[in-house]
Amino acid sequence: MLDRAHELSARLRPAGPTGLEFVDGLFSGSVAHRLRDHGGYLGWWPHLMPSDREAVAAHCVPHLMERWRRVRMETAQAQALAAAGGPPGEALALVVAYLVADRARGTAEERARPVVELAARGELDAERVGRRLALLIQRTELKPGPAFETLEAAAAFGAQREVWRIVTAFLPGFLPAPGERSHTRHTQGLVFALRAARWAGARGAVPCVAEIAQRKASNNFVREARRLHTYLT
């Protein structure tokens, strides 16, 4: 089991440091050592410092990639963090973003609950969550499909505007830059973004989408960018 966990950690480690403290911390350290620590008590952690959820989230970050249920972060802990006190920060955003995209952590509705809890409290740093979500999907084996399912569930629970804010922060890091090749998942991301924009009644151009919409190509990727840009403007 320890060898398997170490293998997963190695596969998910990015090629180099990102310069973001908690993101780099997610991909560092010995998994085997962590499994011998107190991961079995993760369910208690959000309740030990209920007035400083960011400090607790920082200690939970190394357990995000665990696949051994006894020592991994679960949606219940993330929801408890969302309901706790203290200003949200980088670590909490990373925890929320990871669970949004990890289908192994429960149903889309379960994974959406921390997002909805934070949104209801007016404490969701949606832009930070969106940026971290894009980074995780670019740097790990996490896929955009489960993330879109979770965000759709969050919108269905009433967090339509917050979901759109996550999406607008997600797109610049997720979509290919000029000169990079687009893939089916990028087209699917634009399709989902249009749905999210409609749920929120959003208006106003998104620069990275506007740039794609102005290209002369006529493939599905560019066509979906034009559809989204036309709706927003």
| pLDDT-above-90 percentage for the chain | 57
Q: Where are the alpha helices (DSSP H) in the chain?
A: 2-12, 21-26, 31-36, 45-48, 53-60, 75-83, 90-101, 108-121, 126-139, 144-156, 160-174, 184-200, 207-213, 220-232
pLDDT band at 100 (very low <50, low <70, confident <90, very high): very high
Residue 153 has pLDDT above 90, yes or no: yes
| pLDDT-above-70 percentage for the chain | 75
Residue 30 has pLDDT above 50, yes or no: no
The mean per-residue pLDDT over the stretch 68-92 comes to 80
Closest CA to 106 of 138, 78, 140, 141: 78
Q: How far is CA 161 from CA 87, 122, 126, 140, in A?
A: 21, 11, 10, 27
Residue 144 has pLDDT above 60, yes or no: yes
| pLDDT of the residue at 68 | 54
Q: How far is CA 171 from CA 3, 31, 139, 164, in A?
A: 35, 31, 15, 11
| pLDDT of the residue at 35 | 46
Rg (CA), the chain: 18
Closest CA to 199 of 170, 147, 162: 162
